[in-house]
Each structure stands twice: as structure tokens, then as C-alpha cells.
């Protein structure tokens, strides 16, 4: 278990103690290739409901996040109030961390990540179940402001290229970073018309931050990994990947486990950058 600077990361023992807590909602996020929620149906952590990532975390029409009003409506309909603690885990693991980031960005304060998702839970001998919990009772959720400091847009990324004091961290696979692929490992090679990376970006594959059970490595090991890429606590850091899911794993490790303060996610990531006209690409 990584030493942490906040309570955003919880272990299976913590979750077991809170499974009956009415102020805690446990949610599994069905990510890529989970359109039928196959992993959830095969066996999930007791008490977890399942959300499809795009349906619950994105605006229904735009490539953006739900508005404050829409976010409030979705939370309230899911039985989440402003003071509810939401615990996420994902399939794959990065989608639970992505959901944590989206909720924090959308202004929900009480949100946590289950370290290691179902993998660590099962590795510790804890049961998985197939039955879904009963539907949530809708509650009121007061709309809140977004935390815009967590996010950076493409124009500001472009303006930052070559600037001292700002580091780009690319969380994609080695094949994507080097320009051999635009799609992630094991899937179709699609997602952008150009191959490569944002100029000057350092590579830190998100899987390097995780152990065999998909839990975060100890803080000392995480620090070595980010320091080797030149990530200093007092400089600005931008994380990106293909669609920003893996980038949020870097963001979480930097901000919640290592205490870095000046970190933002470029959520447009390579899907946007690799399709833009007139921006530079490095290979």
C-alpha cells in the first residue's frame, strides 16, 4: 500500500468496514470493451453498482463533461447527495481513477478510489458477487462549481510548448509514445490520424505506477519514477494519454500520493492533438 498524503485512496479493509454505511456509495466503472458490463456481471465487489463510463461521466452530446446542473441531476438520481462519499473502482482499473477525477473536477468533494480495484480485493481472498444491489432512492443534489484548475485545454498546451517550468507527461504505452501506434495495446490501431507525441513530452506508462494487483506501488517507488522523468514538485505538470483515462492515474499518483500541487490533465489528449491541423508532433 502506498503511503499517501490524502484519504482519497482506500484499501479493501477500509471498504469492508463501510459496506453497510448509507453515506457511502460504491461504483464500478465499465470502461473500454465493457459495453455489456461483462466483468461486473461475472463478479463484482459486494454492494457495487455499475456505470458505463460515457453514459455517466460525459455530456450526452458534446465531447465534454456534464454541466453542473446535469451533474447534479445524475448524482441525485443515483442516490448521491452532496455529503455522500463515493468510492470508485474500474474495469480497467484506470476508469475508476478517471471517474474519481471527473467527480473532483465537477466539484464533488467526497470521492475515493479503491486501491487495486477488484484485483486486490480478490487477491486478498475477499468474495465477489454477481447480484446487483437494489436501485438507489433518488435524493437532492445541489449543483456545485467545477474545479477548472484540474484541467488544461489544447490552446494552453500549445502555448506551453518549449516553456521552462512545465513538464508534459505521456501516460500511454511505449508503442503509442514512440509513434508506432495511435490505439492502445491489444485493440484496434485507431483514434487519431497522426502518430507520435506532444513535442518534449516525457514518457511514463501508467502501468509502471501499479503492482501486479493493479494497486499503487509504494510512494518511494512512485517518487523515483516521476523524478526520473524530471517531475519537480514546484513546477507545472500536464498529464495526457489517448483519451485521458490513463492520464488521470498519473494525476492521482502525483497529487494524492506524492503531494504535487501544480498538476493538470489535458483531457483532449492524443485523440484531439493527433487530429488537430497545424500543431507540431514529435516522433
pLDDT at residue 6 in the model: 64
* C-beta separation of 238 from 159 below 8 A: no
Of the residues 50, 75, 106, 241, only one is catalytic, namely 241
Whether 241 is catalytic is: yes
In 3D, which of 44, 30, 43 has the Cα closest to residue 91?
30
* C-beta separation of 238 from 160 below 8 A: yes
- For the chain, where do the domains classified as CATH 3.40.250.10 start and end? 9-146, 151-273
Q: Rounded to whole angstroms, how far apart are CA atoms 115 and 123?
A: 12
| % residues pLDDT > 70 (the chain) | 98
Q: Rounded to whole angstroms, how far apart are CA atoms 251 and 170?
A: 11
* pLDDT tens for each residue of 95-113: 999 999 999 999 999 999 9
* pLDDT tens for each residue of 184-220: 988 899 999 999 999 999 999 999 999 999 999 999 9
In 3D, which of 5, 96, 23 has the Cα closest to residue 56?
96
CATH code for the structural domain at 151-273:
3.40.250.10
Q: Rounded to whole angstroms, how far apart are CA atoms 126 and 271?
A: 38
pLDDT at residue 20 in the model: 87
pLDDT at residue 98 in the model: 98
Architecture of domain 9-146: 3-Layer(aba) Sandwich (3.40)
Phi-psi region of 259 (alpha: psi -120 to 50; beta: other; left: phi over 0): left
Residue 139, class by beta-carbon neighbours within 10 Å (0-12 exposed, 13-18 middle, 19+ buried)? middle
For the chain, the three-class secondary structure string (H helix, E strand, C coil) is CCCCCCCCEECHHHHHHHCCCCCEEEEEEECCCCCCCHHHHHCECCCCEEEEHHHHHCCCCCCCCCCHHHHHHHHHHCCCCCCCEEEEEEECHHHHHHHHHHHHHCCCCCEEEECCHHHHHHHCCCCCECCCCCCCCCCCCCCCCCCHHHECCHHHHHHHCCCCCEEEEECCCHHHHHCCCCCCCCCCCCCCCCCCECCCCEECCHHHHECCCCCECCHHHHHHHHHHCCCCCCCEEEEECCCCHHHHHHHHHHHHHCCCCCEEECCCHHHHHCCCCCCCCEC
pLDDT at residue 186 in the model: 87
Low-confidence ranges of the chain (pLDDT < 50): 1-4
State the pTM of this model: 0.96
Amino acid at each position: 500500500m502506498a503511503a499517501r498524503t490524502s484519504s482519497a485512496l482506500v484499501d479493501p479493509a477500509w471498504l469492508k468496514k463501510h459496506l453497510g454505511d448509507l453515506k457511502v456509495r460504491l461504483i464500478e466503472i465499465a470502461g473500454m470493451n465493457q459495453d455489456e458490463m461483462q466483468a461486473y456481471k461475472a463478479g463484482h465487489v459486494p454492494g457495487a453498482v455499475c456505470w458505463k463510463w460515457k453514459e455517466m461521466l460525459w455530456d450526452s452530446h458534446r465531447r465534454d463533461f456534464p454541466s453542473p446542473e446535469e451533474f447534479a441531476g445524475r448524482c441525485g438520481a443515483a442516490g448521491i447527495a452532496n455529503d455522500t462519499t463515493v468510492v470508485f473502482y474500474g474495469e480497467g482499473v484506470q476508469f475508476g481513477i478517471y471517474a474519481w477525477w471527473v467527480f473532483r473536477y465537477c466539484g464533488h468533494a467526497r470521492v475515493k478510489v479503491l486501491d487495486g480495484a477488484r484485483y486486490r480485493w480478490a487477491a486478498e481472498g475477499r468474495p465477489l458477487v454477481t447480484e446487483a444491489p437494489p436501485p438507489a432512492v433518488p435524493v437532492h443534489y445541489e449543483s456545485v462549481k467545477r474545479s477548472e484548475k484540474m484541467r488544461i485545454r489544447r490552446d494552453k498546451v500549445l502555448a506551453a510548448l518549449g516553456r521552462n517550468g512545465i513538464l508534459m507527461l505521456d501516460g500511454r504505452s511505449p508503442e503509442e509514445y514512440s509513434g508506432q501506434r495511435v490505439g492502445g495495446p491489444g485493440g484496434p490501431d485507431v483514434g487519431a490520424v497522426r502518430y507520435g507525441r506532444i513535442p518534449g513530452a516525457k514518457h511514463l506508462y501508467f502501468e509502471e505506477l501499479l503492482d501486479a494487483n493493479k494497486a499503487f506501488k509504494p510512494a518511494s517507488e512512485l517518487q523515483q519514477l516521476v523524478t526520473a522523468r524530471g517531475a519537480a514538485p514546484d513546477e507545472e505538470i500536464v498529464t495526457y494519454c489517448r483519451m485521458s483515462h490513463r492520464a488521470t492515474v498519473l494525476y492521482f499518483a502525483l497529487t494524492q500520493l506524492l503531494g504535487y500541487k501544480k498538476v493538470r490533465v489535458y483531457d483532449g489528449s492524443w485523440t484531439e492533438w493527433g487530429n488537430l491541423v497545424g500543431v507540431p508532433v514529435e516522433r
